[in-house]
Structure 1
């Protein structure tokens, strides 16, 4: 029997007095974070017990859980700061500013700077936005109303705002409390758990997407009657509000960013593969005609930048790195490539044989794996550059040793071509994705399948093609996983593949063409078929900036990015490969700057994306 069960049985035997029982349950519910006691919370806010208020809230949510949580913590800390200023305790105000409010500067630097300037005022009410701030008591009442609304709207507080009825059913209530506490401890609690007994520990084994944050930029809630409908779906926005939120984040002038189109003397052929070298000093692209292009920067720090044009590099012998396409129909091929960890070797195919190139000399070291089947994805094994995982159009995956020309394992599980592969050393797994919109997790010890999940695609947002690829990439923590499909971005937690959130672009913008994590894992860059690039916060999938085509290709609106790559050490730099054969490096307008944060629809600190709960 678990410790929680034993404690519950002890309480059943020990506490028969109603008041003692309520007091004890209140203590436990406060410690366990299962029920939120709004009355207790109101008392603390009214009394200005801000440390206790934040400590209590922290039992239910953290600052970066979602937009509502972020706004809750911001309002608490802002009020604590204003009260310190109001009583002229500048030392305390500075402490609050540096320790508590500084955290929000990464989301909205402008608001943080404005709050800093309040230190210079004799009375912060001189500031127009704060001119209606009354006395402390009335200000706390206003803040309390705001906080209550945010808590009631926050999906993390769902089902936690009602305290159980205890009058006649206190024994049953306590048992249910214990069972619910067990459920609360599940890593990813199901919405409708099957909990039947107090005397066996409960665990949600196969959890669907319990919480599904959905961008305001799409009507992602399925129509009534659809068997995949999301229950209890937290928010809907009008077309006007969606349009407003979209425009608030737009960068649509060349002066609002730094963009450099890389010099190119080759034919203008569509770019279909793109990556930085691991050292960050060069960019490698694969064009539709099977030709690779390599740009190198001759900068003082050896890193790629939008400030200095690189050299389109070619060895003295003048040869090109070109894939073998002698027996290939390019229009049917699914090109793929991977760069070795030491930046010395490139493994690439455009639907024919694999070619292993020496990056320094451009020479072809070897070719292998003649189709059929044709390779459609590839990834180097993290611990050995001689071993690769290769996905094929016959739905299989090979674990292949290049040096000894041997297939070590063949993995079967997909129902369509395999289009994405990524390794996690932390979890010791390989994750694959396919045109079947399925994700599979394979153990690197024995290569057996551990888990599989299908992406949730709402009604009306189905793919335009049955062969639309799904890509996968691990976050730098090697636990969180980004899945990229033309309909959406989705974040999963491996190895169980619990769906944490999804983001859908507005239908008017077209489909997602590609996406990638920034090198520090804080941002996601997503290229869209309307020519725009969306910059999203990785933890919430909330929109920070939208770069329109007018900002980087103002003279050719029909061009759009096909692939996107993030710089390996500069988190705010990325590159895009375009349909017209161009490659652009894009950065914020200021050196060392960051992509701007959009205000939310509520006017708060967070980016403009909202959440809804449901299962996928």
Structure 2
């Protein structure tokens, strides 16, 4: 059990952070010594809180533990000493010298004497070794960087610097699961068990004084007795209808199952009472996800409303967590241990398509039932994902299953309402017309026939019910809704387009989410207001594609059961257009250097307080926002202009461009994650610049070949990937000059590099329109794919790549298109080609910092703001909104996104000017 202490503390730290008990969290970090919070430690150094710095550090190491520890304490105390001297506090300086730095008097006597002599100098910067000492703020940043390097090298800190990857609220989740697990053993569980019952081993008493015996053969009887429902030949039923085994519905109140993670769990335990309205229907698209193959069946988890199980035509079964848009279980039905990234086992699914699947909650256990083209029905035990039982006997493919429990007797039927009291079926008649009916299951007769279904379908429509009140059918490329108690169509939606002729669909248990398959091998999630909250998504205000209500809702009798097809046509989304400067906030960066340079590389500092530009002539310029009354945070903003920073000498920071043909060179620039170093080159020698002192630290990479693209390793700023104009990629350590690897695989110069630490890969792009994937461990090429070019366009030109914040999807930008690739498979999941008002070639595009938007600049001056998930154009910014009046021949060259503010971006124009733009939120979003 002692070996679990670290993991338990990690869970506690996550809980304390999420609860905002920050002081307690840092105290636990220090007292346990399991996790060193580098970010907190750095904040205290930059704030000059030296007592707290040493107190926190003492929880992990002592002064004399090893040489690294001694050096760490020395750097901290030296800075503390110099700051006292800088503010002319001699008494404090003497105290630090004789108390905190006394250990030097025996081990480093010469150094100790030199530091003592600083007391007699009017300014310690007169000492030659301290002549470059800048202001206190910059000095603290340098000390922080040095201390971080020592901590990373110190073996006492190994395995203490990287916080384990946990899903949100993991401790709460485990407690909720434990509560559910404990009460699953109760013979008569309470409907709302209290969390305090976890304090001791617990069983719920039986109010009747006796235990309810479990039906050991329930699962086998449930399937074996399936033919027990016999339909007389005289009953109205299409003669050629295949018996439909339909949708799983668990009992309306599964005893003892409560999710304490959800503050609205009281709502989830009961069905919503009347009255109801159209707003209760989930009709607004919340997200679109790509499965990779045609979706044939879906089902939501009976207890966790954002878990969706998806079956596809390839036999693949995938479990999605919609709240984070992640695949938890993936093809080919492989169950992954997400903590250890291992594959415990592999489960064979069906031979051919998986036609339907459903969760079943039987005998206090969760199962998944699947059926497919191989004429089999399989039942899987979810706890171990093992095949529990297989049912044979069908002479044709099985298309639908519906495990249903009624009074503890299992049967297989069509579709029941959520409370198990009403039975519905949907099918196709002998002449090809679809129908939707309600059955009286006690008398085995039709109770109600619904009007509005389509004529002459080529296949079978799928349907589902929600909250004992609504029915939904997917047909004609849309979703139609009925009130269970009314025979005419209530309303319909096309989900903003992209649905197949017969979309598959499924409600979740709460009825606030509706999963709908799409024609592009994916699915959409439609939601109502409650559904958006459960997904953590803010609904986008737009012109709804919801079709107007049927005449029955307005009190006018329907003259015909046939739907007005003109009403089914989707209404176009309104496109926000910014045509005037007053419709967006903007500021032009000032330039007092007098240099006319065309900036072709543009970067925000990772802290979000500055912008760095590199011109075609090798000149680098840095702008920083400073704290002021108008800008108290000192962050990048359009309300005030930033200051142009220059070295004290006034000399411009310029790359070595001697003997370089500037017309044929490719400028490149990369900024380290800590904002302290920038590396750049313009066809010649590459320079590593210290951002604090504006001094060139190193020069290397003398051409040929010349560097064309640079990217720092996200986890080690001493390692950099360098793309060359000879199509090679070099991986090099900047500290030791050691070349780690040379990667060969492209045919033309390298134009794009992007790392994914989640997939542990490097994605590269070249002027050959190829994307290549390289392993970060072995630096071997895993895969290479070609970007699909529009007809008549050559496979050439610069291609830039950038990873989405999920570190799974990667954006590829070419003058002919925007393309989103799933980097785990390197298949293209979305593509947009310039068209209509945005038909000019693309010059640059980047994700917003939250990866929900893509800012795209076009050569004619237009800027497009795209939805990153669907590549749907949300907003167009006209050149007239940000070009100076009367300007001719202006064109945007490169766009950069603010790393802290998703609604701000910067753009460099070919006249050398740089503008920071903030579309108003209503326009951009």
If the length of structure 1 is used for normalisation, what is the TM-score?
Answer: 0.65
2:908 to 567, 570, 577: 577
* Distance in 2 between residues matched to 1:486 and 1:109, nearest whole Å: 30
Determine whether 1:495 maps to 2:817: no
Q: For structure 1, which runs of at least 5 residues remain unmatched after alignment? A: 31-35, 82-95, 116-124, 151-240, 598-616
SS in 2 for 1:404: coil
2:541 to 90, 109, 115: 109
**In 2 relative to 1, CA 384–24 (structure 1 residues): closer, same or farther, beyond 3 Å?**
closer
2:738 to 406, 413, 426: 406
Between the two proteins, the alignment pairs up a number of residues equal to 461
* Distance in 2 between residues matched to 1:378 and 1:28, nearest whole Å: 61
**In 2 relative to 1, CA 23–448 (structure 1 residues): closer, same or farther, beyond 3 Å?**
closer
Matches within 5 A, 1:182-581: 248-266=575-593, 267-298=595-626, 299-462=631-794, 466=796, 468-506=797-835, 509-555=839-885, 556-581=887-912
1:508-548: per-residue Cα shift (whole Å, max 9, x none)? 74210010000001000011000011000000111001111
Residue 248 of structure 1 deviates from its aligned partner by 4.2
* Distance in 1 between residues matched to 2:724 and 2:618, nearest whole Å: 18
Matches within 5 A, 1:57-206: 67-68=497-498, 98-100=529-531, 108-109=540-541, 134-135=554-555
RMSD: 4.5
Residue 459 of structure 1 deviates from its aligned partner by 1.1
Residue 366 of structure 1 deviates from its aligned partner by 0.8
* Distance in 2 between residues matched to 1:487 and 1:427, nearest whole Å: 28
Q: Is the 8 A contact 1:319 1:362 kept in 2?
A: no
**In 2 relative to 1, CA 148–341 (structure 1 residues): closer, same or farther, beyond 3 Å?**
same
**In 2 relative to 1, CA 17–366 (structure 1 residues): closer, same or farther, beyond 3 Å?**
closer
* Distance in 2 between residues matched to 1:289 and 1:545, nearest whole Å: 34
Residue 380 of structure 1 deviates from its aligned partner by 0.4
**In 2 relative to 1, CA 24–263 (structure 1 residues): closer, same or farther, beyond 3 Å?**
closer
* Distance in 2 between residues matched to 1:253 and 1:336, nearest whole Å: 33
1:15 to 393, 403, 406: 393
Residue 588 of structure 1 deviates from its aligned partner by 1.9
1:560-589: per-residue Cα shift (whole Å, max 9, x none)? 110000000111110001100011000023
Q: Is the 8 A contact 2:376 2:394 kept in 1?
A: no
Map of 2:341 onto structure 1: none
Residue 289 of structure 1 deviates from its aligned partner by 1.2
SS in 1 for 2:802: strand
Q: Is the 8 A contact 2:684 2:702 kept in 1?
A: yes
SS in 2 for 1:385: strand
**In 2 relative to 1, CA 537–64 (structure 1 residues): closer, same or farther, beyond 3 Å?**
farther
The structure with more helix, counted as a fraction of residues: 1
Q: Is the 8 A contact 2:575 2:873 kept in 1?
A: no
* Distance in 1 between residues matched to 2:710 and 2:414, nearest whole Å: 50
**In 2 relative to 1, CA 424–110 (structure 1 residues): closer, same or farther, beyond 3 Å?**
closer
SS in 1 for 2:717: coil
Matches within 5 A, 1:574-613: 574-589=905-920, 593-596=921-924
Residue 270 of structure 1 deviates from its aligned partner by 1.2
SS in 2 for 1:595: helix
1:313-369: per-residue Cα shift (whole Å, max 9, x none)? 113222322111112111110110100000000000001011001112211111001
* Distance in 2 between residues matched to 1:136 and 1:43, nearest whole Å: 23
1:231-281: per-residue Cα shift (whole Å, max 9, x none)? xxxxxxxxxx9xx98x94421111111111111123232110001000101
**In 2 relative to 1, CA 104–381 (structure 1 residues): closer, same or farther, beyond 3 Å?**
closer
Q: Is the 8 A contact 2:790 2:816 kept in 1?
A: no
**In 2 relative to 1, CA 17–447 (structure 1 residues): closer, same or farther, beyond 3 Å?**
closer
* Distance in 1 between residues matched to 2:625 and 2:528, nearest whole Å: 41
**In 2 relative to 1, CA 140–322 (structure 1 residues): closer, same or farther, beyond 3 Å?**
farther
1:429-481: per-residue Cα shift (whole Å, max 9, x none)? 00000000000000011100001001000213347xx4x21100000001100
1:184-208: per-residue Cα shift (whole Å, max 9, x none)? xxxxxxxxxxxxxxxxxxxxxxxxx
Map of 1:237 onto structure 2: none
* Distance in 2 between residues matched to 1:37 and 1:320, nearest whole Å: 76
* Distance in 2 between residues matched to 1:68 and 1:307, nearest whole Å: 41
Q: Is the 8 A contact 1:514 1:564 kept in 2?
A: yes
Q: Is the 8 A contact 1:388 1:401 kept in 2?
A: yes
SS in 2 for 1:109: coil
* Distance in 2 between residues matched to 1:300 and 1:73, nearest whole Å: 52
Q: Which has the larger radius of gyration?
A: 2
Q: Is the 8 A contact 1:133 1:139 kept in 2?
A: no
SS in 2 for 1:569: coil
The structure with more strand, counted as a fraction of residues: 2
Q: Is the 8 A contact 1:54 1:73 kept in 2?
A: no
**In 2 relative to 1, CA 41–549 (structure 1 residues): closer, same or farther, beyond 3 Å?**
farther
1:263-317: per-residue Cα shift (whole Å, max 9, x none)? 1123232110001000101011111111011111113112101111111111322
Q: Is the 8 A contact 1:433 1:470 kept in 2?
A: yes
Residue 142 of structure 1 deviates from its aligned partner by 8.2
- Structure 1 runs of 4+ with >3 Å offset: 5-18, 20-30, 36-57, 60-70, 100-108, 129-133, 135-150, 594-597
* Distance in 2 between residues matched to 1:369 and 1:23, nearest whole Å: 63
1:367-396: per-residue Cα shift (whole Å, max 9, x none)? 001000011111001111111010101110
* Distance in 2 between residues matched to 1:484 and 1:455, nearest whole Å: 10
**In 2 relative to 1, CA 23–531 (structure 1 residues): closer, same or farther, beyond 3 Å?**
closer
**In 2 relative to 1, CA 339–249 (structure 1 residues): closer, same or farther, beyond 3 Å?**
same
* Distance in 1 between residues matched to 2:858 and 2:559, nearest whole Å: 44
* Distance in 2 between residues matched to 1:28 and 1:381, nearest whole Å: 57
SS in 1 for 2:554: coil
